[in-house]
C-alpha cells in the first residue's frame, strides 16, 4: 500500500484556523505548516469493526507517533480500540522509562475531542480538585478551584474554595467518588462542607446543578494593582484557545491583545501571569501571549523548536524545501501591545495543573528574560500532539498522539519533571481559599511580596494541612496532563 499521499488530497489530520497544539489540532495556517503526507485509507463498506479501527490506529501511529520505533512488532489486533491504542504506546515508567509517553490518548467521539480542545464541553462550569479528607482517611472531598461566569454552577452560587463532600446524598469515598462525581447523568445534587477551626465539617447545604454544553473563555480575569508605587499587571489565563469552537475567529487571542493594551496604557512594570489551572492548548495562542510579554522579541526571534520521529523528519524537510516553509521552528509574532520593554521580569504562578503550552511559554521566554515561577511544581510536558481523525468520516474515533518534542532557542527541553518554583506556595486543603485576583490569595500574595519586598505585603503565615490529591477536573480536560490511561481514577466517562 502506498502509505504516503498528498496532504491536500487526503486531509486526514484535522484542519481549521489557528495553530499547532501542544495537545493540539493541526490548523491551516499553522506555525509549522500542514503535514507533508498522510496515511492512505482503503474504501470499506459495512459496519465498522474493531479490527478496522485498530488497523487505522496502527498505520497512523507508525507514521506520526514520536516513539514509532517503540511500537510492538505484532500487537494484539483483537482488542477494543481504546485498549489497543494503549497497548502500543511507549508507556512512561518513573523507574524504567522516565522519558516515556504520559500524554497520548484516544477518544470514541472525534467531534467531542475537537470541541473540548476548543474549550467547549458539557459541564457545570466548576473546576475542582479532589483530595483525601484527611491524610489517612478513605473519605474524599472536592474543593472548587474556580467557577466559569454565567455557568450553571455560578448561577447556583458555587464559588472558589467551596467544598463538596457528597453527591446525590452519598458521602464521597475512595471507593465511590469516580462513579458519583464523573458518572452518567448531567444533573447531580452536591452536598457541601465548610471549614471550622481548620477542620472540614459537613453542612446541610446542597445544590442541584445540571451540566450544559458550555464554551469557556480562557481569559478569565485581568487586573492592575498599584502597590508601594509599583504598577502590577495580573492575568488569569486558563487554557490556550484562540477562539470558540467551530469559529474561524481568534476572538480570545484578540482579547489577550486588548488586555495587554490596557496593561501598556497603564504603564505596568511588573506582570504576574496566573497559569496555575492551565493544562495547555494551542501553540498559536501560546505564541501570541509570549509575544505580548517577551523582552525584545519579534518575528525574527525563535520561540521554540520541534523534533519529530525519524519517519516524519525527512518528510517535513522535503516539504519545507519544496514549499519554502519551516516545520521545525516557531517564531514570536510582532505585537503592538508588547509590554516586555517595561518589565523587570515575569512571575508565573504554577501548580501541577500547569502543563504543556503553559510550560512551553515559560521555557520559550527564559532565554529572553527572567521568568520566576511561584506555587508548586508544574506538570512536566515538553512534547506536543496532533488530532487525527478519519477524513472519510467512517471511523468516528479521534486520537491525540504525541508527535514532537519541543526545545527553546538554547536547545533546552529539560522540564519533563516540571518547573520547580523559586518559592513553594501550597493551596492547603483545610485553609479557606481567597478569590482569584484577591491580593491575599496565597499565590498572588507571594508574587506581590516578591515584587514589593515589603513584609507588610505578606498577609499571613502560610500553614495548613496538605492531604493527598487523587485527581482534578483540570487533568480531565482536553489538553490536561493525564487524560486517558493514567489510571482508573482519571479515566474519561
Identify the pLDDT of residue 87.
97
pLDDT band at 117 (very low <50, low <70, confident <90, very high): confident
pLDDT tens by residue, 147-198:
999 999 999 999 999 999 999 999 999 999 999 999 989 999 999 999 999 8
Write the class of the CATH domain 120-214. Answer: mainly beta
**Pairing between β-strand 346-350 and β-strand 270-274 as defined by DSSP bridges:** parallel
How far from chain centre, in Å, is Cα 461?
31
pLDDT band at 489 (very low <50, low <70, confident <90, very high): very low
Residue with cell 446524598: 169
Long-range own/partner contacts, residues 86-95 (CB < 8 A, 24 or more apart): 86/484, 86/485, 88/57, 88/58, 88/61, 89/485
C-alpha cell at 209: 446543578
pLDDT band at 116 (very low <50, low <70, confident <90, very high): confident
Identify the pLDDT of residue 485.
23
Q: Tell me: pLDDT of 491 over 60.
A: no
| Torsion angles phi and psi, residue 159, rounded to 5 | -140, 165
pLDDT band at 460 (very low <50, low <70, confident <90, very high): low
R_g (Cα) of the chain, nearest Å: 23
What CATH homologous superfamily does 1-119+217-462 map to?
A: 2-enoyl-CoA Hydratase; Chain A, domain 1 (3.90.226.10)
Q: Tell me: pLDDT of 19 over 50.
A: no
Asked whether the CA dihedral 482, 484, 487, 491 is positive or negative, the reply is positive
Q: Tell me: pLDDT of 456 over 80.
A: no
Distance CA 337, CA 243 (A): 19
pLDDT band at 477 (very low <50, low <70, confident <90, very high): low
Identify the pLDDT of residue 442.
94
Distance CA 61, CA 55 (A): 10
**Average pLDDT over the chain, rounded to whole?**
87
pTM score of the predicted model? 0.85
Mean of pLDDT values over 435-451: 95
Please give the full DSSP string across 383-406, using - where no structure is assigned: EEE--B--TTS----EEE-EEEEE
Q: How far apart are the first and last CA of the chain?
A: 37
pLDDT band at 248 (very low <50, low <70, confident <90, very high): confident
Comparing 4 with 308, the larger pLDDT belongs to: 308
Q: Tell me: pLDDT of 30 over 60.
A: no
- What are the residue ranges spanned by the domains of the chain? 1-119+217-462, 120-214
User: What share of the chain in percent tops pLDDT 90?
Assistant: 76
Residues facing 271 on adjacent strands? 233, 346
Amino acid at each position: 500500500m502506498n502509505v504516503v499521499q498528498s496532504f491536500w488530497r487526503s486531509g486526514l489530520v484535522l484542519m481549521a484556523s489557528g495553530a499547532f497544539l501542544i495537545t493540539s489540532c493541526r490548523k491551516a495556517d499553522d506555525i509549522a505548516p500542514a503535514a507533508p503526507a498522510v496515511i492512505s485509507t482503503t474504501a470499506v463498506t459495512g459496519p465498522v469493526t474493531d479490527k478496522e479501527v485498530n488497523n487505522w490506529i496502527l498505520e497512523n501511529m507508525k507514521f506520526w507517533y514520536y516513539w514509532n520505533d517503540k511500537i510492538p512488532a505484532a500487537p494484539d489486533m483483537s482488542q477494543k480500540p481504546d485498549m489497543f491504542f494503549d497497548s502500543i504506546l511507549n508507556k512512561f515508567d518513573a523507574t524504567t522509562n522516565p522519558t516515556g509517553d504520559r500524554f497520548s490518548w484516544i477518544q470514541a467521539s472525534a467531534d467531542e475531542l475537537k470541541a473540548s480542545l476548543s474549550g467547549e464541553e458539557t459541564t457545570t462550569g466548576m473546576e475542582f480538585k479532589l483530595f483525601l479528607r484527611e491524610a489517612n482517611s478513605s473519605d474524599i472531598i472536592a474543593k472548587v478551584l474556580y467557577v466559569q461566569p454565567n455557568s450553571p454552577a455560578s448561577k447556583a452560587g458555587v464559588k472558589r474554595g467551596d467544598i463538596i463532600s457528597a453527591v446525590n446524598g452519598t458521602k464521597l469515598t475512595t471507593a465511590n467518588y469516580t462513579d458519583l462525581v464523573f458518572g452518567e447523568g448531567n444533573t447531580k445534587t452536591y452536598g457541601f462542607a465548610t471549614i471550622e477551626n481548620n477542620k472540614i465539617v459537613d453542612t446541610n447545604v446542597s445544590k442541584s446543578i445540571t451540566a450544559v454544553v458550555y464554551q469557556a473563555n480562557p481569559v478569565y480575569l485581568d487586573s492592575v494593582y498599584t502597590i508601594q508605587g509599583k504598577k502590577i499587571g495580573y492575568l488569569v489565563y486558563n487554557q490556550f484557545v484562540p477562539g470558540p469552537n467551530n469559529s474561524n475567529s481568534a476572538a480570545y487571542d484578540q482579547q489577550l491583545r486588548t488586555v495587554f493594551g490596557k496593561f501598556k496604557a497603564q504603564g505596568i512594570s511588573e506582570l504576574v501571569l496566573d497559569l496555575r489551572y492551565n493544562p495547555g492548548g494551542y501553540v498559536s495562542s501560546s505564541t501570541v501571549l509570549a509575544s505580548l510579554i517577551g523582552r525584545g522579541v519579534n518575528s525574527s526571534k525563535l520561540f521554540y523548536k520541534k523534533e519529530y520521529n525519524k519517519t516524519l523528519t525527512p518528510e517535513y524537510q522535503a516539504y519545507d524545501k519544496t514549499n519554502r516553509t519551516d516545520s521545525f521552528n516557531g517564531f514570536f509574532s510582532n505585537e503592538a501591545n508588547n509590554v516586555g520593554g517595561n518589565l523587570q521580569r515575569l512571575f508565573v504562578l504554577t501548580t501541577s495543573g500547569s502543563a504543556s503550552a503553559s510550560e512551553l511559554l515559560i521555557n520559550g521566554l527564559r532565554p529572553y528574560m527572567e521568568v520566576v515561577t511561584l506555587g508548586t511544581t508544574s506538570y512536566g510536558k515538553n512534547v506536543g500532539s496532533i488530532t487525527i481523525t478519519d477524513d472519510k468520516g467512517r471511523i468516528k474515533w479521534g486520537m491525540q498522539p504525541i508527535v514532537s518534542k519541543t526545545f527553546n532557542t538554547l536547545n533546552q527541553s529539560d522540564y519533563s519533571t516540571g518547573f520547580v518554583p523559586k518559592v513553594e506556595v501550597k493551596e492547603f486543603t483545610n485553609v479557606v481559599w481567597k478569590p482569584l485576583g484577591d491580593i491575599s490569595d496565597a499565590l498572588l500574595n507571594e508574587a506581590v511580596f516578591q515584587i514589593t519586598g515589603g513584609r507588610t505585603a505578606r498577609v499571613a503565615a502560610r500553614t495548613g494541612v496538605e492531604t493527598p490529591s487523587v485527581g482534578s477536573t483540570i487533568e480531565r480536560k482536553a489538553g490536561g496532563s493525564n487524560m486517558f490511561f493514567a489510571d482508573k481514577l482519571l479515566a474519561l466517562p
